[in-house]
Amino acid sequence: AQKVTQVQTEISVVEKEDVTLDCVYETRDTTYYLFWYKQPPSGELVFLIRRNSFDEQNEISGRYSWNFQKSTSSFNFTITASQVVDSAVYFCALSSGGSNYKLTFGKGTLLTVNP
C-alpha cells in the first residue's frame, strides 16, 4: 500500500516570509511519481510539479522550489517571499507503478498568507 502524509494541516505566515510544506511518502515500488497541486479559494485544482523516482534534482520555478530526497522519502515544497495570492490548500500526491489510477493524495496543507 502507498501512503502520503502532509505533515502540516495548516500554516499561517505573514507576507514575505518563506514557508515550507512537508510531504512524506511510503511506497514499495521503485518507480513512482510525486506531484504537488494547488487549490486556491476559488476551488479549482492546479498542477504545480511532477517528479519521478529516478530524478532527485531539486527544482526551482520563480518563488517556488521543491526538495526531493529519496533517503528520507520526502518531497518538500518551499515558497520564498510568500504573497497573499499563495494562500491555498496544497496537496502532495504519489503515484506508484506509474499509473494515474494509483494516485494517492495527501490530506492537504492549508496555507494562509496574511498581509
Q: Residue numbers of the site for another protein (CB under 8 A)?
A: 4, 32-33, 35, 37, 43-47, 50, 52, 91, 95, 98-103, 105-108
Least Cα distance to 35 among 19, 46, 20 occurs for 46
- Measured from the CB atom, the residue of 24 and 103 that comes closer to another protein is 103
Minimum CB–partner distance for residue 81 and another protein (Å): 26
**Separation of alpha carbons 59 and 42, rounded Å:** 27
Cell (9 digits) for 8: 502540516
Nearer to another protein, 12 or 52 (CB): 52
- How far apart, in whole angstroms, are the C-alpha atoms of residue 104 and residue 58? 22
Q: Which three cell numbers stand for residue 29?
A: 515500488
Contact (CB, 8 A) for 81 and 74 = no
Q: How far is the CB of 97 from another protein (least distance, A)?
A: 8
> In terms of CB distance, is 14 or 45 closer to another protein?
45
Cα 63 from Cα 81, distance rounded (Å):
7
Q: How far is the CB of 28 from another protein (least distance, A)?
A: 16
Between residues 4 and 19, which has the closer beta carbon with respect to another protein? 4
